[in-house]
Structure 1
Amino acid sequence: MNIKRIEESVSLRRSLDQGTEEQRKAVLEIIDEVRTKGDMALLSYTEKWDGARLDSLRVTKEEIIQAYDAFPTSINVVIQEAAENIREYHEKQVRQSWLSTKEDGTILGQKVTALDAVGVYVPGGKAAYPSSVLMNVIPAQVASVGRIAMVTPPAANGSVPAGVLVAADILGVDEIYKVGGAQAVAALAYGTETIRPVDKIVGPGNIFVALAKKEVYGLVDIDSIAGPSEIVVLADETANAHEVAADMLSQAEHDERASCVLVTTCGELAERVALEVEKQLTDLPREDIARASINEFGAIYVTESMEEALRVVNELAPEHLEVMTKEPMNLLPFIKHAGAIFLGRYSSEPVGDYFAGPNHVLPTNGTARFSSGLSVDEFVKKSSIIMYSQQALEDNVDKIAAFARLEGLEAHARAVEARFKKRGEF
């Protein structure tokens, strides 16, 4: 890995992958086909892109039973415990409706209402992700979403990974469809003969899924346009090079475009980590993917001070930030931008990916500057409540009418004045 000294003017943020014009055109064509042809288009695209010739899109109870038979009981128990941790964490995020009464009798408030229906996209492709099921479904359940529909691309033989089905069943999700890609997003947005439309689509996917979510946004809500995974490790001389390298590679193996960065005040640590990364790469099962990530998007930055290192971290605004310093908690007040912050040697990033409780669906591509990870808030909407009393309107009618006329909206002014004037007085 290249080791670089940071200059004050350096720009560290990589550009957001917007896809090519050809990819966007392909996505628009797929969306239109699904919108007009429904299930026929889904079955056709599933055969074309996934190699699976399906008789039915919906996962059956028999397939769920088979998944349990093929899945190790010991891992089943781990998934259940992880689900409990995730649920407990997200239950602390629940917002309550509220009302406030003023002395003049006015009642103001906010009503929090869960969404009626949510679609969860669980990616396939390079790996199967039961953890994505937990992280996307549980906050929706905690928010009391009425209906949760899950979509995931099948293998060529028409099967869905056992772990994905077991995780869904543990959570009680029984509406599962064997369809992926842009066609799955279109089905959730527009509906087909088999799949009823939803109000929001969440979950990561490839560039075609991301572009499809972008296209249907407005008809439905979406969580975000997810980019490749990222990790930044902020370390001083006390960090263990072997552990830092291992944590960086934990993200590099996700995707060839994943980003893995070390920011350190210690040049010696930088050199040791560079050697460790190369050493550990050689026996990784997904070496080709991880090596491509490291070569293209891996970096080690050495700074003159911790203040400068923190500036670099905040400019990167990473999805995952590990702080591996002597006193990591002391640096927390100075971290402004990060999707998830892991403090200390024993808070390795996979702890958050699978088990601790916080959500692993996080902002990427520097969007942690202005956005947050998936939470219960994503699955509710808030309605304001206004109940003005007669006294309150009498006290304020002239002010409201004056404001309306300031903006040239006479009918607005007359609407409030109508409560106190007889017909024909305007």
Structure 2
Amino acid sequence: PAQVAGVQEIIMVVPTPDGLRNPLVLAAAAVAGVHRVFTVGGAQAVAALAYGTATIPRVDKITGPGNAYVASAKKRVFGQVGIDMIAGPSEILVIADGTTPPDWVAMDLFSQAEHDELAQSILLSPDAAYLDAVRASMERLLPEMPRAAVIRASLQGRGALIHTRSMEEACEISNRIAPEHLEISATEPQRWEPLLRHAGAIFMGAYTSESLGDYCAGPNHVLPTSGTARFSSPLGVYDFQKRSSLIEVSAEGAQGLGRIAAELAYGEGLQAHARAAEMRLKA
């Protein structure tokens, strides 16, 4: 989006665990048109971008997700720089009609739980037997996951399998949660999509796994979290654009607008405002 918007210089910061630079990340940066990359991450990277250092330039806007420390840092520097959103721990909500293989849905829930112990993974379905099948799949598949400890802690703390009265009720609950990632794992996802008002990204159908959106499905994947999808949108071109208001009033136009402005200004007790408008009135 920054390239499309015409941003003149795009700077990326990226952590390097164990001092190793990930060639895939650098390749992606090159494809995306990043101009400069700095190997620093976390809250300290946010501070460096906001205030500048001897080696890292100060920027105008900071975008992108991160852990709780990054989110807190972005909140603190807002005003010094612009930010896109306060992106919290990752979330997934799956609405399932019971037709998708349980292993698929179990792994979709794992895909967010493995991010962070604070990640949220929720399944809503009107099919109680299907919920039991997904739970059984989770119990069977979890031991083989490399990040099993993180997944288990996340699911125990912020995971839920919820039996709803109907698919309609599942959509109502989803709107209240306003999840970052919302999968409609159903044979007719187009039937339910019109009922869904709040979500960062909506994945339609059993074959549209959230992980595809993470890496290659197309739309930007910096998404609102923690219920902010009620009033926020995914990162896009508009986040890298700004607008200025242009006002030009003719001598004739100033006669009508000046009287209105003066009357309102006197009502507010702002005499200089009123007189500035009145000076342009013709006698």
Query: What is the root-mean-square deviation of aligned Cα atoms in Å?
Result: 1.6
Alignment equivalent of 2:238, drawn from 377, 380, 387: 377
- List structure 1 runs of 4+ shifted beyond 3 angstroms: none
Count of matched residue pairs: 283
For 2:207, give the aligned amino acid: Y
- Quote the Cα distance in structure 1 between the aligned partners of 2:107 and 2:46: 35
Deviation at 1:194, TM superposition (A): 1.3
Matched, 1:349 2:207: no
Alignment equivalent of 1:280, drawn from 121, 128, 141: 141
Alignment equivalent of 1:212, drawn from 65, 73, 77: 73
Q: Deviations over 1:17-40 (max 9, x none)?
A: xxxxxxxxxxxxxxxxxxxxxxxx
- Quote the Cα distance in structure 1 between the aligned partners of 2:105 and 2:49: 40
Matched, 1:148 2:42: no
Q: Deviations over 1:377-425 (max 9, x none)?
A: 1111111111122222223322221122222212111111111257xxx
Higher relative contact order (CA 8 A, sep 6+): 1
- Quote the Cα distance in structure 2 between the aligned partners of 1:398 and 1:360: 50
Matched, 1:400 2:241: no
- 3-state DSSP class of the match of 2:53? coil
- 3-state DSSP class of the match of 1:301? strand
- Quote the Cα distance in structure 2 between the aligned partners of 1:171 and 1:262: 34
Matched, 1:339 2:168: no
Matches within 5 A, 1:222-261: 222-261=83-122
Deviation at 1:240, TM superposition (A): 2.7
Q: Which deviates more, 184-193 or 170-179?
A: 170-179
Alignment equivalent of 1:221, drawn from 82, 98, 101: 82
- Quote the Cα distance in structure 2 between the aligned partners of 1:380 and 1:174: 18
Deviation at 1:352, TM superposition (A): 1.1
* Distance change >3 Å, CA 421–CA 391, structure 1 → 2: closer
Matched, 1:178 2:39: yes
Matches within 5 A, 1:15-54: none
- Quote the Cα distance in structure 2 between the aligned partners of 1:373 and 1:214: 18
Matches within 5 A, 1:129-168: 139-156=1-18, 158-168=19-29
- Quote the Cα distance in structure 2 between the aligned partners of 1:228 and 1:373: 15
- Quote the Cα distance in structure 2 between the aligned partners of 1:192 and 1:261: 42
- Quote the Cα distance in structure 1 between the aligned partners of 2:45 and 2:189: 42
Q: Which residue of 2 aligns with 1:310?
A: 171
- Quote the Cα distance in structure 2 between the aligned partners of 1:153 and 1:386: 46
For 1:372, give the aligned amino acid: S
Deviation at 1:327, TM superposition (A): 1.9
Normalised to the residue count of structure 1, the TM-score between the two structures is 0.64
Normalised to the residue count of structure 2, the TM-score between the two structures is 0.94
Matched, 1:188 2:33: no
Percent of aligned pairs sharing the same letter: 53
* Distance change >3 Å, CA 392–CA 196, structure 1 → 2: same
For 1:146, give the aligned amino acid: Q
Q: Which residue of 2 aligns with 1:367?
A: 228
- 3-state DSSP class of the match of 1:381? coil
Q: Deviations over 1:26-78 (max 9, x none)?
A: xxxxxxxxxxxxxxxxxxxxxxxxxxxxxxxxxxxxxxxxxxxxxxxxxxxxx
Instruction: Please list every run of 5 or more consecutive structure 1 residues that lacks an aligned counterpart in the other structure.
Output: 1-138
Alignment equivalent of 1:388, drawn from 238, 245, 249: 249
Alignment equivalent of 1:319, drawn from 174, 177, 180: 180
